[in-house]
């Protein structure tokens, strides 16, 4: 099946700085790319997503970029705050007929006050 490589596995930033998490994939048929945030002990929650016909999407301090040619997509968090500390998972769907999402292994983001 499709594989998603997520980097880095851990990331520490000072409050107010930006954080970037990158995921790479191999299947060019992948057409949907969501990002989930999981706080300690809680469920993963969708924070932003992008479809393959769009290159960038932004929602306040969070943005996702997609480079279909290079087969990678990234989560950008600007002006980080302590409440951004969590584990972030990228995911993708391999084609319109797929029922599954393939998840990355997660990035633990720590925002230092």
Partner 1 sequence: SQTIHQWPATLVQPVGSPLSLECTVEGTSNPNLYWYRQAAGRGLQLLFYSIGIDQISSEVPQNLSASRPQDRQFILSSKKLLLSDSGFYLCAWSVRSGGAGTQYFGPGTRLTVL
Interaction site with partner 1 (CB under 8 A): 32, 34, 36, 41-46, 49, 51, 89, 93, 98-101, 103-106
Closest CB to partner 1 among residues 97, 113: 97
Nearer to partner 1 by Cβ, of 41 and 113: the residue is: 41
Structural tokens at position 19: 């954080």
Instruction: Find the shortest distance in angstroms from Cβ 106 to partner 1.
Output: 5
| Residue 80 CB, nearest approach to partner 1 (Å) | 22
Tokens of 49: 């997503």
Q: Please, what is the minimum distance in Å from the beta carbon of residue 16 to partner 1? A: 27
Please say which residue, 51 or 58, places its beta carbon nearer to partner 1.
51
Q: Is 70 left (phi over 0), alpha (psi -120 to 50) or beta?
A: alpha
The nearer residue to partner 1, 72 or 93, going by C-beta atoms, is: 93
Paired tokens of 109: 């983001």
Q: Which of 9, 62, 7, 52 is nearest to 30 (CA)?
A: 52
Tell how far CA 75 is from the center of its chain.
5
Count of residues for the chain? 113
């Amino acid at each position: 099946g499709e594989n998603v490589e997520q980097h880095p596995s851990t990331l520490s930033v000072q409050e107010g700085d930006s954080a970037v998490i990158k995921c790479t994939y191999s299947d060019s048929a992948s057409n949907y790319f969501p990002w989930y945030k999981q706080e300690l002990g809680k469920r993963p929650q969708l924070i932003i997503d992008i479809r393959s016909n769009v290159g960038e999407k932004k929602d306040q301090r969070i943005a996702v970029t997609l480079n279909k040619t290079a087969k990678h997509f990234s989560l950008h968090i600007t002006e980080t705050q302590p409440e951004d500390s969590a584990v972030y998972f990228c995911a993708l769907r391999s084609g319109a007929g797929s029922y599954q999402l393939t998840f990355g292994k997660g990035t633990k983001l720590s925002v230092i006050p």
